[in-house]
Every structure is written in C-alpha cells, then in structure tokens.
Amino acid sequence: AQSVTQLDSHVSVSEGTPVLLRCNYSSSYSPSLFWYVQHPNKGLQLLLKYTSAATLVKGINGFEAEFKKSETSFHLTKPSAHMSDAAEYFCVVSDQGASGGSYIPTFGRGTSLIVHP
Amino acid sequence: EAQVTQNPRYLITVTGKKLTVTCSQNMNHEYMSWYRQDPGLGLRQIYYSMNVEVTDKGDVPEGYKVSRKEKRNFPLILESPSPNQTSLYFCASSTGGAFGYYGYTFGSGTRLTVV
C-alpha cells in the first residue's frame, strides 16, 4: 500500500528566504508524485508532478521538487519566498497497485506555509 | 475555460434532511472523485468513478452516495446528513482514466455545515 508523510504541519519563513517543505512517501511500485497548493477559500491547484522522467521537476511560481528514490523523498523547494506563497501545500503519491490498474492517489495531511514580511 | 464546477459553495442544513452537491466538468474527463477535507486530516477520498456507470468506494464512503449517469456529472448525495459530515468537500476530475500522469483538476469546494 502507498502512503505519504508530510514531515511538518507548519513551516514559517521570512519573505525572500528559501522554502523547504518535506515529503516522504512509501510505494511498492513506481510512483507518481505531485505537489498541490491550496490558497485560503480556494480549491487545490497542481504545482508540479513527477512521473518517472527527470528527477528534478520544475513547477509553477518558481517551485521545484527532486525525486530521490534512495531516500523515498519528494521535497518541495523555492529559492526565495514571496508573501503570495502563503498557503497550504499537499504532497500526493499514486501508483498502479498490485493489479496494475488505474492510479489511486493518497494525499498527505498538508503543510501550512507562513511567510513573514 | 476548462473547469470543475461545484454547487453550492456554502450550505447549512439540518440533520436528516437529504441533500445533493452537484459537480460538473467540461473537459471530457473519464475519472472523477469526491474528497472531504478536515483540519489535520488532509483530503480523504469518499467515492470515485472511472467512467459512466462505474463507481467505487474511497476511504470514507459511509453516509454518502454517488452516481455517474453522464460523463460530465458526478453528484454527491447525503441521504441523511449528520453533524460529523460537516466538512469542506471537493470534486475533482482527471483524464486518461488514471490519475498518475495528468493530475486532477479540482472544483472550488463546498463548505457544508450540518446542525
């Protein structure tokens, strides 16, 4: 069975400093991994995705994530935080499962990013 | 504009009064799903549908029903709502019949309060 753990429920940074949101996953098959962002009172928006191509994935708004199979991690980073980055971030894993059927995703519990002026 | 539309955005209802939350997508996606979001628990899948007339339970299906009579619509039905179903609900859709390669498009959410 697949699972995903977001290691921090809250991360607080100052504007202009780097952002690191940590995600570890467990999967018995070749997983696909995603990061979503949810701004207050909004739906979820896809930031980036890894689907077995390049291990360093670039997303929207300057975010990127690196797939590290040996560490079973998919941490989200950004060189310089902006006030508009304050939101909830979700790491998601999905794999084909034993049956080789369609991918069913599992969501992490979310990390709240707080950006101070 | 490609989108998933949920209605209503906000709903307050009383225990036991049947309600339906509608979800419609205009992208011809095969795969649709309902999630509920609760503080500290992230998103939990209620039901999903691989295509028309094909639905299956997610992680927390108790107290909910769904139907998929048309490709674009995937309503969520609460036959007898209870206060523990107070939550933020999201509908999502995806193409290719599989979430893995394309990701979801999410609706804006429905905030349901059951008193």
Q: What percent of chain B stands above pLDDT 70?
A: 94
Quick count: other Cβ atoms within 10 Å of Cβ B42?
19
| pLDDT, average across residues A70-81 | 96
Determine the residue among B30, B38, B99 to mutate to test chain A binding: the one whose Cβ has the most chain A Cβ atoms within 10 Å. Answer: B99
Instruction: Give the model confidence (pLDDT) of B24-38 as tens digits.
Output: 999 998 889 999 999
- Which pLDDT score is estimated for B98? 47
Please name every residue paired with B64 in a beta bridge, in sequence order, or none if there are none.
Answer: none
Q: Please write the tens of the pLDDT for every residue from B27-74.
A: 998 889 999 999 888 889 999 998 899 999 988 999 999 999 999 999
Amino acid B6: pLDDT? 95
Best residue in A5, A49, A103, A106 for a mutation probing chain B (most B CBs within 10 Å): A103
Q: Are the C-beta atoms of A15 and A115 separated by less than 8 Å? A: yes
Omega cis (within 30) before B8? yes
CA distances from B81 to A24, A39, A100, B17, B76 (A): 36, 28, 36, 6, 12
Q: How many CB atoms lie within 10 A of CB B73?
A: 15
Residue B98 with chain A: CB contacts under 8 Å: 102-103
Q: In the prediction, which pLDDT does A24 show?
A: 97
Mean confidence (pLDDT) of chain B: 91
